[in-house]
Amino acid sequence: MADDKDPGPTQLAPRFSSASPAEVAAGGGLLSRRAVLTGAVVAGALSAVAARAANPDWSDAAKPWQKQPGRPFSRYGQPSVHVREIERSVTLREGDVAPGNGSSFTPLHLLRGTLTPNGLHFERHHNGVPDIDPDHHRLVIHGLVERPLRFDFDALLRYPMVNRTVFIECSGNSFRNTFPKVQEVSCGDIHGLISTSEWTGVPLSLLLAEAGVRADAKWVIAEGADAATMARSIPLAKALDDVLVAFYQNGEPLRPEQGFPMRLVLPGYEGNMSIKWVHRLELTEVPLHARDETSHYTDLLPDGRALQFTFPMGVKSVITQPSAGWDLQGSGYYDVSGLAWTGAGRITRVEVSADGGATWAEAELQGTPPRHGVVRFRIPWRWDGKPTSLASRATDETGAVQPDRATWLARYGATQRYHYNAIQHWAVDAEGRLRNVYA
Amino acid sequence: MADDKDPGPTQLAPRFSSASPAEVAAGGGLLSRRAVLTGAVVAGALSAVAARAANPDWSDAAKPWQKQPGRPFSRYGQPSVHVREIERSVTLREGDVAPGNGSSFTPLHLLRGTLTPNGLHFERHHNGVPDIDPDHHRLVIHGLVERPLRFDFDALLRYPMVNRTVFIECSGNSFRNTFPKVQEVSCGDIHGLISTSEWTGVPLSLLLAEAGVRADAKWVIAEGADAATMARSIPLAKALDDVLVAFYQNGEPLRPEQGFPMRLVLPGYEGNMSIKWVHRLELTEVPLHARDETSHYTDLLPDGRALQFTFPMGVKSVITQPSAGWDLQGSGYYDVSGLAWTGAGRITRVEVSADGGATWAEAELQGTPPRHGVVRFRIPWRWDGKPTSLASRATDETGAVQPDRATWLARYGATQRYHYNAIQHWAVDAEGRLRNVYA
């Protein structure tokens, strides 16, 4: 895209000419996570670049947008037309009889930072997205309580609210990688059933205190107002701990796809327990064994037994940049970046391998890993232009380490679709093309 | 909205019957910030409510959205049709000759949490929103550097990136309250030229290291590619400290209104220095004295002198819920909530008054106040049904305290429009209607 006739400043992409041996952190070209942001590596690399003096006429010719007034203000903004390819990928197939049953995936490979914009939060619906009028929506708390209660929307908004920035991950996220062979797809297509938002709402514990929980209550049955009547059984201890009845997502009211006008948020637990469009909470002695925790959302093991009520999501990470579908622009410096998270609480370490798992180097964690949030990791990498693979491996505060795929398959087999959290390797070929190793 | 014929559970809004004297924190009904979330107050209030037993037919009749499949998946989500009134308010007037010069305001009074969704981030443009093709946009670094450089978009994306969750506040935010009399408008209409995002980009210090800053450089002149050619002078020390060349906003590419494909982010400094659509950075010995830092964005004092280069935004807070335009639903319990921030770094304290400033109680700060971010505060309040006013007052880590309006006006007078950070009082009348005291 450079204009070769332009006599102006040097065109520059980060290069890598002369890292000292002390900066090498692992095989395959991984460097110390501190090597670049301190300026030690990239700036030094410029010794290989011939700097050209600035010509007085250094600038490109004025662009159209500099010569005419731009468009006026808008009441609700939308993305640039130049990034329209950044969208959710939808599993819907032509002729599906139930177009509201399926998923759409967050394009993790096209996003940076840690938050998911509301328009790109993943979707998992069992019978489509209801269009709920909040003036006709009620939340009922009943069963083993002292005072059965019914709240309308406006009443709930008067309660004190708290914020929790947490991920929600579908229990079936990454299920494509449980298959022996999958199509060549992007990182988002494989792992994009996880999204992160600042959720704002009323602590469920406060509403349960209003109702008065009876001593014999052990579970909360939560039910949604969608046409699938999604229902799950929540242990009372979790309900009294950190669960929200959420009304806001990244500052604005929930999107319809994420439960407008209200949903539960269960930090760290499998996504479908964070019941969307929630309208009923029943306190009980025993779990419901609802359709969606018996026929679905159980973990069938190779010996024929099925694990039920496996709530927290496992420790996990994935490299998002670069990832499947990327074309590296020649050998040299790349910043490897990705996301890590755990249902157990906080991530403590992410390691990256650039030689197929033979050696690992510790990546930088950006900021303090939040409880039940995602943390972005990064590490500088010098690609030597030869075929290899990139992978990341996360460890959490309980000491749990992300397993490799063989270990995961040995435990669960290839027909189990839930709680897949194995290490993802991205193959890099000699042309710099990346793809899923498991494809 | 309740169905009076329904024999089901108790309809409930939070009430306030019997706070113990120990919970009272200040005059006008302010309670200890710890009083409610611990369950001590709201739950106890139920003694005044006759609990009715749940009828087996407790639920409302099934709603339409429970009886038919919902709509299918979408590639980029949008807000519910039921919250379409939540939008930016635009200053544009009919017949304006320059429809791209003005502002649109974030509706702070309709949002919760701390983040601003991208569609509602405030706008301030001087000649409209350019539609920039990133393939034809360049960033040039020249002037007092060893190596003038020109980057295309793809080259910049290869550099290491960092995240900063910070506010951007227009220097002219809240200018309506500098007038002796203003129209009755909402909290967002007055104070909505502040928004908060997770910004992701390359540290400017890294790009300056690539270019090699010469010892005689003291300023960075930053220029945007919009038709107004917005330009500001940035002290080199700030540029080398925490400034980002940002590409992502809350995880996705910048919106056109916020600088797509790239902008500067100067944490804590007045908003228009965070140059949008940035395309040129010139290192100089002296500031540019650009049109937008001489004719605009200087602080004219009553004695005729004008302060220039007053970069950091002052310590500030505002109650967003309840605020102007709200109707309280009778006396009783309300949760008072708002936002606080400071260009100096971190907020350390927010106090709230419910008796016109006679007495103040300390509000709860939700989470650790972030550096150059906003913190949400809250405090429980029992309204006795009589006319009063509500106000908040912030203190930051430098010891700076938000001034009252008289103090601010004594310093700046009523014709200065920048850096207004005085305490906002919301009047509450006997009907529970809130309005701006300065209207």
Taking contacts as CB-CB distances below 8 angstroms, the residues of chain A near B337 are 161
Could you tell me the two tokens for B396?
A: 């930051």
Contact: B257, A77; criterion CB under 8 Å: yes
Q: How far apart are CA A410 and CA A418, in angstroms?
A: 14
Q: How far apart are CA A407 and CA A411, in angstroms?
A: 6
In percent, how much of chain B has pLDDT > 90?
74
Write the class of the CATH domain B19-49+307-439.
Answer: mainly beta
pLDDT at position A390 is 98
Judge: domain B124-173+196-297, CATH 3.90.420.10. Answer: yes
Mean pLDDT of B383-409: 96
H helix or E strand, kind and range, residue A223: strand A219-224
Q: What is the pLDDT of residues B186-222, one digit of tens each?
A: 999 999 999 999 999 999 999 999 999 999 999 999 9
- Nearest neighbour of B206 by CB, restricted to A42, A151, A251: A42
Integer CA distances (angstroms), B322 to A33, B112, B292, B337, in order: 47, 12, 36, 7
H helix or E strand, kind and range, residue A365: strand A364-365
Distance from CA of B283 to the nearest CA of A (A): 13
Give the DSSP letter of residue B173. Answer: T
Contact: B255, A79; criterion CB under 8 Å: yes
Using CA atoms of A183, A185, A190, A194 in order, give the dihedral in degrees to the nearest 10: -160
pLDDT at position B92 is 66
pLDDT at position B364 is 97
State the DSSP string of B11-65: E-----S---GGGEEEGGGEE-TTTTTTSTTHHHHGGGS---PPPTT-SPPPPHH
- Nearest neighbour of A76 by CB, restricted to B119, B140, B146: B119
pLDDT at position B438 is 86
Could you tell me the two tokens for A323?
A: 């990832």
| Total residue count of chain B as it appears in this document | 439
Residue B87 has pLDDT above 90, yes or no: yes
pLDDT at position B49 is 32
- Nearest neighbour of A252 by CB, restricted to B49, B86, B102: B86
Taking contacts as CB-CB distances below 8 angstroms, the residues of chain B near A127 are 69-70
- Nearest neighbour of A198 by CB, restricted to B114, B118, B135: B114
Higher-confidence position of B119 and A54: B119
pLDDT at position A21 is 54
H helix or E strand, kind and range, residue B411: helix B405-412
Using CA atoms of B218, B219, B220, B222 in order, give the dihedral in degrees to the nearest 10: -170
The ipTM, to two decimals, is 0.92
Q: What is the pLDDT of residues A311-368, one digit of tens each?
A: 999 999 999 999 999 999 889 889 999 999 999 999 999 999 999 999 999 999 999 9
Predicted TM-score (pTM) of the model is: 0.93
Which residue in chain B has the smallest CA separation from A333?
A: B158
Contact: B86, A253; criterion CB under 8 Å: yes
For CA atoms B54, B57, B63, B66, the dihedral sign is positive
Q: What is the pLDDT of residues B235-275, one digit of tens each?
A: 999 999 999 999 999 999 999 999 999 999 999 999 999 99
- Nearest neighbour of B42 by CB, restricted to A68, A142, A210: A210
Could you tell me the two tokens for A8?
A: 């102006």
Integer CA distances (angstroms), B41 to B103, B341, B355, in order: 42, 29, 21
pLDDT at position B184 is 67
pLDDT at position B135 is 93
Which residue in chain B has the smallest CA separation from A227?
A: B66
Contact: A203, B102; criterion CB under 8 Å: no
**Confidence band, pLDDT 50/70/90 cuts, at residue B354:** very high
In percent, how much of chain B has pLDDT > 70?
87
Contact: A99, B72; criterion CB under 8 Å: yes
Residue to mutate among B38, B67, B80, B111, with most A CBs inside 10 A, is: B80
Closest by CA to A352, choosing from A319, A384, A309, is A319
Given a cut of 50, the residues of chain A with pLDDT beneath it are: 1-7, 15-19, 39-40, 42-58
Which residue in chain B has the smallest CA separation from A100?
A: B72
Q: What is the pLDDT of residues B34-64, one digit of tens each?
A: 666 554 455 444 332 323 333 334 455 788 9
Contact: B125, A68; criterion CB under 8 Å: no
Write the class of the CATH domain A14-49+305-439.
Answer: mainly beta
In this structure, which topology does domain A124-167+198-297 adopt according to CATH? Answer: Sulfite Oxidase; Chain A, domain 2 (3.90.420)
pLDDT at position A10 is 58
Contact: B159, A335; criterion CB under 8 Å: yes
Mean pLDDT of B325-333: 90
**Confidence band, pLDDT 50/70/90 cuts, at residue B91:** confident
CB pairs under 8 A between A and B: 446
At which residue do the structure tokens 């113990």 appear?
A: B20
Which residue in chain B has the smallest CA separation from A223?
A: B66
Taking contacts as CB-CB distances below 8 angstroms, the residues of chain B near A328 are none
pLDDT at position B23 is 74
Break chain B into its structural domains and give their ranges.
Answer: 19-49+307-439, 124-173+196-297
Q: How far apart are CA B40 and CA B14, in angstroms?
A: 13
Note whether A14-49+305-439 and A124-167+198-297 share their fold.
no
